[in-house]
Amino acid sequence: MIEAQVACRSCDANLGAPVLSLGSIPLANALLSAEELDLPDPRYPLELVFCPRCSLVQLNVTVSPTLLYENYVYQSSYSDSLVQHAREISDRIAADYHLDSSSQVIEIASNDGYLLQHYQARGIPALGIEPAREIATLAKQRGIETLNRFFDRTLVEQLVADGVNADVVHAHNVLAHVSDLPGVVDGVARLLKTDGVWIVEVPYLLDLIDNTEFDTIYHEHLCYFSMTSLQYLMKSHGLRIKHVERLAIHGGSLRLFVTHEENAAESKGGGAKGRESKSVDELLELEESWGVHSAVTYQRFAAAVQDLKSELRALLTRLKGEGRGVAAYGASAKGTTLLNYFEVGRETIDFVVDRSQVKQGMFTPGTHLPILAPAELMHRRPDDVLLLTWNFADEILQQQAEYRSGGGKFIIPIPKIRVV
């Protein structure tokens, strides 16, 4: 169920001591039914280590993927901004790469079809690969061809044998979840056509550190990528990052355009349409000056997390002492890390709301807070709401305009605590 990680997932170098320990935390999306509340909550160590060779920051344990994803409940389509983000990149790639009915798009960890639906609407063949059974079923019900499988060496062999190769492969917010990084990168290289492109989106390590986004750390996220570590990984498997873009989504992300090494400069399309851009070298230089190779950088981050914990706990304690009702928004993976590590539970938070109907009626891992529909904010009218899904703050604040106009306030904990 859990395996210690003593060698780097990317380069196989020996890993050192943790640079940040969050203690033992429940699995981020292991929501509980009412019948399970009296059972022990399984908890697993959550610690970050730093690879001195390739600079990959990663967890020092691996929880079984079957345990993590077989009953996964997160649905991307519940975020309007995420669906719009997917529409924009799919429209752009379809145009830049002149995709049509003879093309093939594959997405790894395709969730409920929130991205592939936009290709399908254009008549472009799309194949999703999604290990979570219920989520894959939802995608199929929407007419998205989806394999309920992990993207691993066995599946790649099967796809290659079936003659599948891709003009475009998407991997959005999945590479961080991968224990066998070499296997996945090799698999994509085998499936990608000579002039094809792999679009990778990952949360960006520099934004995570600079903005104290510690709640992005949970057992599903095994790896935390810089451009330095990504370049090492891709080069090791005959791929090149042709272009990179920094995105605001998820608290700060990178979008990579990856091609075969021998075809990088001549390949069509992508963010740097035509020849390779300078964006990769510029980001590598930035990371060098930032301290990407130094363990001290990550130790300073650990100290900042402790300061944030003290500040937020003090604020919530004061609010409760004043007799104010406090709820939370977002039964999210981020919320599991924040609530459990900060030791904020039922003594402080009355309930959590979430748009996902799959989550409503369940309880949060470790803290056992009831998950209700967002309409309960207007019905119960708590004075303050801790926004656990702060990465979608603009969208949620707009959706909750009526609650806010009635005097309700949102506490946004990251990057710095603010009340709006």
CATH number of the CATH domain containing 195 = 3.40.50.150
CATH number at residue 317: 3.40.50.720
| 272 & 317 share domain | no
pLDDT band at 263 (very low <50, low <70, confident <90, very high): low
User: What is the pLDDT at residue 267?
Assistant: 47
Residues 221 and 146 in one domain: yes
pLDDT reported for residue 66: 78
Same domain, 202 and 347: no
- Distance between CA atoms of residues 73 and 177, nearest Å: 16
Please give the mean pLDDT across all residues of the chain. 93
**pLDDT beyond 50 at 374:** yes
231 with 319, same domain: the answer is no
Residue 69 forms part of a structural domain: no
314 and 225 assigned to the same domain: no
Q: What is the mean pLDDT of residues 173-199?
A: 95
Domain boundary among 263, 290, 317: 290
Do 265 and 309 share a domain, yes or no? no
Residue 42: inside a domain: no
pLDDT of amino acid 273: 47
Residue 118 in any domain: the answer is yes
Instruction: Give yes or no for residue 305 having a pLDDT over 80.
Output: yes
Q: Which of 141, 140, 253 is nearest to 206 (CA)?
A: 253
Please state, in angstroms and rounded to a whole number, the distance separating the CA atoms of residues 288 and 4: 30
Whether residue 225 is found in the same domain as residue 270: yes
At 351, the amino acid letter reads F
* Confidence band of 270 (pLDDT split at 50, 70, 90): very low
pLDDT mean over 382-390: 97
Give the residue-averaged pLDDT of 281-286: 96
> Are 343 and 381 within one domain?
yes
Q: In Å, how far are 123, 137, 155, 366 from 203, measured between CA atoms?
A: 30, 27, 26, 25
Same domain, 286 and 313: no
Q: How confident is the model at residue 73 (pLDDT cuts 50, 70, 90)?
A: low
If one counts the domains in the chain, the total is: 2
Q: Is residue 39 part of a domain?
A: no
Sequence length of the chain is: 420
Domain of residue 217: give its range. 76-290
Neighbours of 23 (CB within 10 A): 11
pLDDT at 410: 98
Tell me the per-residue pLDDT of 196-213, one tens digit each, with 9 for 90 and over.
999 999 999 999 999 999
Residue 27 lies in a domain: no
Give the pairing of strands 409-412 and 418-419.
antiparallel
Given pLDDT bands bounded at 50, 70 and 90, which one contains residue 69?
A: confident
In this predicted structure, which of 98-112, 192-206, 270-284, 333-347 has the lowest mean pLDDT? 270-284
Whether residue 406 has pLDDT greater than 80: yes
Last residue of a domain, one of 290, 312, 336: 290
Query: Residue 109 pLDDT > 60, yes or no?
Result: yes
Q: Give the model confidence (pLDDT) of 15-33 as tens digits.
A: 988 999 999 999 999 999 9
Query: What pLDDT does 276 receive?
Result: 62
Question: Which whole number is the average pLDDT over 285-290?
Answer: 97
Torsion (CA) 332, 333, 334, 340 in degrees, nearest 10: 100
Each residue's pLDDT tens digit, 336-345: 999 999 999 9
Closest CA to 6 of 18, 22, 20: 18
Residue after which a domain boundary falls, among 274, 290, 306: 290
Say whether pLDDT at 282 is over 70: yes
pLDDT at 387: 98
- For residue 336, give the amino acid letter: T
Q: Do 284 and 300 share a domain, yes or no?
A: no
286 with 329, same domain: the answer is no
Whether pLDDT at 72 is above 70? no
Mean pLDDT of 351-356: 96
| Position 222 in a domain | yes
pLDDT of residue 251: 86
In a domain, 71, yes or no: no
Tell whether 10 is covered by a domain.
no
Higher pLDDT residue, 125 or 17? 125
Q: How many CB atoms lie within 10 A of CB 376?
A: 18
Mean pLDDT score, 27-56: 94
Residues 196 and 282 in one domain: yes
How much is the pLDDT for 321? Answer: 95
Output the six-digit token pair for 20: 């940040």
Q: Which residues pair with 171 in a beta bridge?
A: 200
